[in-house]
């Protein structure tokens, strides 16, 4: 299972970097989202894949006695998902405004100085 995650993370990182190197702003945005998802899976994988009990200590003991799932990586991933959703929505609106102003989504067309955006 962990090998599948490693391969999937590699594919997401490779595809994300490839798309970010293209000249289209849409591909840049999709590449950024793929990199974010790859980072989320990497954090999830580093948190150790364990099928276990929830991390709740019973009232009669003071330490964990059984194998439990670590909640810290999962909470970090949930926070990263919320932040990436906000970044995605902002980038889509910004992409739409730039496209309406320039008429193109090519990044090389943004270097012209005749338009005031």
What letter does residue 21 receive in the DSSP assignment? T
pTM tops 0.85: no
Helix (H, G, I), strand (E, B) or coil at 55: coil
Q: What is the pLDDT of residue 32?
A: 92
The residue assigned the tokens 């799932």 is 69
Q: Which CATH number fits domain 2-53+67-108: 2.40.128.20, 1.10.287.3510, 3.30.565.10, 3.40.630.10?
A: 1.10.287.3510
Residue 44 parent element (H or E): helix 25-46
Q: Average per-residue pLDDT in the chain?
A: 85
- Whether the CB-CB separation of 64 and 39 falls below 8 Å is answered with no
Q: How many residues does the chain have?
A: 117
Q: What is the pLDDT of residue 15?
A: 97
> Could you read off the pLDDT of 75-112 as tens digits, one per residue?
899 999 999 999 999 999 999 998 898 888 888 877 76
> Could you read off the pLDDT of 8-26 as tens digits, one per residue?
999 999 999 999 999 899 9
Domain boundaries, the chain: 2-53+67-108
> Could you read off the pLDDT of 41-53 as tens digits, one per residue?
999 888 777 776 6
Q: Determine the average pLDDT of the residues in 37-66.
A: 78
């Amino acid at each position: 299972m962990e090998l599948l995650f490693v391969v999937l993370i590699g594919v997401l990182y490779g595809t994300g970097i490839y798309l970010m190197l293209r000249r289209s702003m849409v591909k840049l945005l999709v590449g950024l989202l793929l990199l974010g998802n790859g980072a989320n899976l990497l954090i999830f994988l580093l948190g150790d894949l364990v099928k276990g009990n929830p991390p709740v200590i019973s009232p009669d003991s003071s330490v964990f006695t059984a194998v439990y799932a670590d909640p810290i990586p999962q909470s970090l991933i949930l926070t990263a998902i919320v932040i990436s959703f906000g970044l995605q929505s902002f980038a889509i609106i910004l992409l739409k405004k730039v496209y309406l102003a320039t008429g193109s989504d090519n990044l090389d067309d943004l270097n012209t100085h005749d338009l005031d955006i």
